[in-house]
Amino acid sequence: MGMMLAMGISRFAFTPILPLMQRDLGMSHSQAGALASLNFVGYLAGALICAIWPKLLRNTAVNLTALISSIGTTLLMAYTTSPVFWGALRLWAGLASAILFVVIAVEVTETLLRSQHGRWSSALYGGVGLGIALSGLTVPLFDHLGGWRGAWLGMGALSVALAGMGVTIAGKREAFVDTPDALPSQGAGFRLLARLIFVYFLEGLGYIVSATFLVTMIANTPGLTAFAPWSWVAVGLAAAPSTIVWQRVAGRIGVRPALTLAYLIQAGGIMLSVGASETWRACLAAVIFGGTFLGIVALVMAEGGRRAGPQGRRAAALLTAAFGSGQVIGPSIAGFLADRLGGFALPLFLAAGAVVCAGLLVATDRRFKSPAP
């Protein structure tokens, strides 16, 4: 529930609602990219806060504030047409979602490890995919009822429902056991993270172009407008089981080959979306995107935790910060180039290039170890 709210809705509902805002308000690609980048600036800030002060992650007031903020910033998007206020709301939403993401990822992983079910830790990221699919399914309905405003209000209402269910479930679990925040001796664990952090930065830089503009690109393609909201459903449905699928692939062939394969397949999907004018091609590009980006997240976060040892909380925050840094840069550049060049071909080529570079760096990284089957 938490991942559906914090990531699937609070962060990614912007993607299917964006074409509605452009349709009803005449928003440019540059402005849309700027709003997306502000959200990712907030996400980066939240990740850095978690990295610098990991003890805050155990503070109930901080976690509750992040939860309420994720809901409130979604609802308030409907009550203004000021780009300044929109920017402030997306910035705050990003900060809140980063805190919730790290808290949920670490606590669920720790709980599963203590119960000897650590192999299922990647499944929690499937909640992001379910949230994406939910937004893709419901945004057209809310659009029919109230346009772009109705879409934001509807997403806010769904967030309230998910939060209620999540808090109810969380209140029934056992309290987690505290984990130390001390660095491993001489920072050895973090020297192992350097390349992984850069690889994750490149993923943030590359994947975010599709994550921000996929529905808009399809909506603006003659003959594909009706398919646009369904493309986001395809992304979510492909993403939901992808973390488990990629974990199983990694269990059979090793984390390094699996992660390399995921990066290269994602780059191919990005290239497939360039100039896609047929429904099957747009759908395949959406499925490839959804089927890889969360798998990469799950594999990288798990590998980061393994390398960092007892400093898993801070490692998760540092990786999230690197991912967020790439996301800050990508949308603004892509939106600017799309407005200047009249299309997304060059931004997509650049995004695919970043993802290919990440795959090559993974393929040559000798520090990976295969998980136990």
Task: Give domain status of residue 371, yes or no.
Answer: no
Question: What is the number of domains present in the chain?
Answer: 1
Q: What's the confidence (pLDDT) of residue 62?
A: 86
- Whether 370 is in a domain gets the answer no
Cβ 263 vs Cβ 296: under 8 Å: yes
CATH number (domain holding residue 247): 1.20.1250.20
Query: Is residue 369 one of the residues assigned to a domain?
Result: no
For residue 279, tell me if it sits in a domain: yes
Domain that holds residue 300: 2-363
As given in the structure block, the two tokens for residue 71 are 């809901």
Residue 23 lies in a domain: yes
Residues 6 or more apart whose CB falls under 8 angstroms from that of 342 comprise none
Encode the chain (373 residues) as per-residue pLDDT tens digits. 678 888 888 888 998 999 999 999 999 999 999 998 899 899 889 888 887 887 777 788 888 899 999 999 999 999 999 999 999 999 999 999 988 888 887 777 666 666 665 555 666 677 888 888 999 899 999 999 999 999 999 999 999 998 888 777 665 554 444 444 444 444 555 667 889 999 999 999 999 898 889 889 998 898 888 898 899 999 999 998 998 899 899 989 999 999 999 999 999 999 999 888 899 999 999 999 999 998 998 899 888 877 877 666 678 778 888 888 888 888 889 999 999 998 899 999 999 999 999 999 999 988 887 544 4
Q: Which of 184, 124, 173 is nearest to 306 (CA)?
A: 184
Alpha helices in the chain (DSSP H): 2-3, 14-25, 29-52, 60-76, 83-114, 126-170, 188-191, 194-219, 228-253, 255-272, 279-308, 312-341, 345-363
Per-residue confidence (pLDDT) for residue 172, from 0 to 100: 53
Q: Is 227 domain-assigned?
A: yes
Domain for residue 267, yes or no? yes
Within 10 angstroms of residue 97's Cβ, the number of other Cβ atoms is 28
Q: Is 373 among the domain residues?
A: no
